[in-house]
Amino acid sequence: MKNFLLRSIAVCLFSFTAIIAQQKPTFNNPILAGFYPDPSLVKVGSDYYLVNSTFAYYPGIPIFHSKDLISWEQIGNVLDRPEQLNLDGFGVSRAIFAPAIKYYKGIFYLTCTLVDGGGNFVVTAKNPAGPWSNPVWLPQVNGIDPSLFFDDNGKAYLIYNSDAPDNKPLYEGHRTIRMYDFDYKELKVVGVNKILVNGGVDFSKKPIWIEGPHIYKRNGFYYLIPAEGGTAEDHSQVVFRSKNVDGPFVPWEKNPILTQRNLDPKSKNPVTCTGHSALVETDKGDWWAIFLACRPYEPFEENYYNTGRETFLAPVKWTDDGWPIINPDYKEVQFSYPVPISPQKKLEIPLNGNFTLREDFTKNKLPLYWIFLRTPHEKWFDLSEKPGFLKMKLLTANVSGTVNPSFVARRQQHQNAVASTSFSFEPKSENEKAGLIVFHNEEHFYYLCKSKEGNDYVVQLYKSNADKQNNNMELISSQKLSNEITGKNLELKIKVEGKDFSFYYSQKPGEWILLKDKIDASFLSVKKAWAFVGSVFAMYTKSLGVPSSSSAYFDWFEYSGNDSTNK
């Protein structure tokens, strides 16, 4: 009887332990949903700070703060003054590439590349929320993806992606990782650069696009951790190490330490394109990695995704012989892991999971998540003239050009999402248009707008094309509006369900009328648009080639997203 009771108690304790383990809190991946690629982070005390690439969007480089690695709050933008970042003339997927943030002796340092512009630069700040300094250019650094490393002996180094030796590539994608000494007080490189890695892990296999390097020091070793394979499905993270900061660096025989390129392309809800990682150690001594990854929608094997490259988080384990492995317990990157640190707070502006967010334009400044296409040089929008409304002037600049249009955007953060808005606008001619656009790049967008055809007010749906003579748009649907719409608000809605768009309008609040459905959303996918960005929804006004004094007044904008992978 005694043994029976002991066994029963043991079974009960085991079951109770299993229940407690199952109840351990988890978090959702991605931790930053939508177009937040090339993540970099730094730990300062118990605080974490994270930055991402923004390409030709303004302000440049959002900066986020967290206490738990999963609840991220945007606290500012690094490049938020026109004097820091003039984006005139840049294509949507050019300009700001791969920022890297570091901290040393009370100063935050951020290195980055302005592609097709001034090249590599460094900015500094005492407060990560800003203000950040104007860029200090590094003309000797020929390449991209610069990252600083501060050694514990007081020396600093700049690591970056550069050309093949002697600028003579032996195959397409042949690159190097190089290093300069860095004077962090004068913000300049010193001496001559040295090649740390030529090509990649195994030169005999012609490795491509070694990039995004970071150096970490642990247990007497310097670990060089770059990405390899390009930023699409063959993307991977690899590791080298050395006893000396300048090498020689030896690759791990079991590289890569993260990739999803060997997965079955027909896997349900796959995560693809993983790489461009950064590592961090928590106060408890646990290691974690952030990295970019993508979430395709069906058909999964096509690898179509409109949300762009997103920021994911996964655990890191070190092998007994001292090598790091990202996502060590699984073949597939998971949409959920146990939390690294107990969650700190619920966010006012969520950045992942399923949510609805409505903006009523009641404040005197736009929230930080709104972005512009290139740098605004004139005040074409206003929140004070008519409280509770966003006034947007009609400009002749359009989204297919290379200057700043009248365009206020937020990222698409879900495969299944709805963006809607309400506005008042009385076009004076067929040239004048205002409404809602879903935009990927200069030649891949759909525009749902109010305009005129003759004397009639109409709602129109345009699809982008390459016809420079017609503002890069073709009309695919039009519907006459009731005369009662004059002086009253029109509501517009764009709904995306994976590979399909539907477009709606309403002349009475909540009474939606379908204008067009089953529109190809994959036209805006990264694979078809060949862009480094992701899709955005934007309020967009313009006057086709003819200057206008008209304005549109938006009184709310709502975004809602719901994905099956968000538990």
The CATH number of the domain where 129 resides is what?
2.115.10.20
Q: Are residues 310 and 361 in the same domain?
A: no
Q: Could you write out the DSSP letters of every residue in 84-152?
A: T---TT--TTSEEEEEEEEEETTEEEEEEEEETTTEEEEEEESSTTSPPPPPEE-TT--EEEEEEEE-T
Q: Could you write out the DSSP letters of every residue in 139-189?
A: TT--EEEEEEEE-TTS-EEEEEEEPPGGG--SSTT--EEEEEEEETTTTEE
Q: Are residues 146 and 36 in the same domain?
A: yes
Q: Are residues 410 and 516 in the same domain?
A: yes
pLDDT above 70 coverage of the chain, percent: 94
Q: Are residues 35 and 162 in the same domain?
A: yes
233 is catalytic: no
| pLDDT the model gives residue 469 | 62
- In angstroms, rounded to a whole number, what is the distance separating the alpha carbons of residues 104 and 92? 33
Q: Are residues 305 and 438 in the same domain?
A: no
**Residue at 292 is within a domain:** yes
**Residue at 11 is within a domain:** no
- Tell me the CA distances in angstroms from 517 to 339, 397, 496, 503, 513, one per residue in order: 40, 29, 10, 6, 11
- In angstroms, rounded to a whole number, what is the distance separating the alpha carbons of residues 296 and 287? 28
Q: Are residues 396 and 331 in the same domain?
A: no
Q: How many residues does the chain have?
A: 567
Give the closest residue to 423 by CA, choosing from 444, 442, 437, 443: 437
- Partner residues linked to 420 by β-bridges: 493, 558
- In this predicted structure, the answer to whether residue 1 has a pLDDT above a threshold of 80 is no
Q: Average of pLDDT values for 36-52?
A: 98
**Residue at 23 is within a domain:** no
| pLDDT the model gives residue 516 | 98
Q: Which of 294, 311, 338 is the last residue of a domain?
A: 338
Q: Is the peptide bond before 59 cis (omega within 30 degrees of 0)?
A: yes
Q: Are residues 53 and 153 in the same domain?
A: yes
**Residue at 377 is within a domain:** yes
Options 80, 145, 211, 233, the catalytic residue: 211
- In angstroms, rounded to a whole number, what is the distance separating the alpha carbons of residues 462 and 184? 51
Q: Are residues 56 and 194 in the same domain?
A: yes
- Judged by average pLDDT, the poorest of 1-15, 40-54, 360-374, 511-525 is 1-15
233 neighbors 250 (Cβ within 8 angstroms) = no
Q: Average of pLDDT values for 497-526?
A: 95
**Residue at 261 is within a domain:** yes
* Cβ neighbours, 10 Å, residue 313: 24
| pLDDT the model gives residue 267 | 87
Alpha helix segments (H runs only) across 431-544: 526-529
H or E element: which one contains 77?
strand 73-79
- In angstroms, rounded to a whole number, what is the distance separating the alpha carbons of residues 458 and 432? 11
- pLDDT tens for residues 171-229? 999 999 999 999 999 999 999 999 999 999 999 999 999 999 999 999 999 999 999 99
Torsion of CA 135, 136, 138, 144, to 10 degrees: -20
The CATH code of the domain that includes 491 is: 2.60.120.200
137 neighbors 121 (Cβ within 8 angstroms) = yes
Q: Which of 338, 370, 403 is the last residue of a domain?
A: 338
Exposed (0-12), middle (13-18) or buried (19+): which is 504, by Cβ within 10 Å?
Answer: buried
38 is catalytic: yes
- In this predicted structure, the answer to whether residue 14 has a pLDDT above a threshold of 70 is no
Exposed (0-12), middle (13-18) or buried (19+): which is 394, by Cβ within 10 Å?
Answer: buried
pLDDT above 90 coverage of the chain, percent: 89
Residue 567 pLDDT grade (very low, low, confident, very high; cuts 50, 70, 90): low
Both tokens assigned to 458? 């109409």
| pLDDT the model gives residue 485 | 59
| pLDDT the model gives residue 486 | 58
Q: Are residues 361 and 308 in the same domain?
A: no
When the pLDDT of each residue in the chain is averaged and rounded to a whole number, the result is 93
| pLDDT the model gives residue 402 | 95
Q: Which of 308, 338, 368 is the last residue of a domain?
A: 338
- In angstroms, rounded to a whole number, what is the distance separating the alpha carbons of residues 344 and 27? 12
- pLDDT tens for residues 379-422? 999 999 999 999 999 999 999 999 999 999 999 999 999 999 99
| pLDDT the model gives residue 487 | 58
**Residue at 6 is within a domain:** no
Q: Are residues 411 and 539 in the same domain?
A: yes
Q: Are residues 285 and 370 in the same domain?
A: no
**Residue at 2 is within a domain:** no
What's the predicted TM-score (pTM) here? 0.94
- In this predicted structure, the answer to whether residue 566 has a pLDDT above a threshold of 80 is no
Residue 16 pLDDT grade (very low, low, confident, very high; cuts 50, 70, 90): very low
The torsion angles phi and psi of 63, rounded to 5 degrees, stand at -125, 130
- In angstroms, rounded to a whole number, what is the distance separating the alpha carbons of residues 527 and 343? 35
- In angstroms, rounded to a whole number, what is the distance separating the alpha carbons of residues 344 and 266? 37
| pLDDT the model gives residue 12 | 43
| pLDDT the model gives residue 216 | 98
Angle at 114 between CA 222 and CA 214, to 5 degrees: 10
**Residue at 264 is within a domain:** yes
- In angstroms, rounded to a whole number, what is the distance separating the alpha carbons of residues 223 and 324? 9
What is the count of structural domains for the chain? Answer: 2
Q: Are residues 331 and 360 in the same domain?
A: no
Structural domain span for residue 113: 29-338
49 neighbors 101 (Cβ within 8 angstroms) = yes
Residue 271 pLDDT grade (very low, low, confident, very high; cuts 50, 70, 90): very high
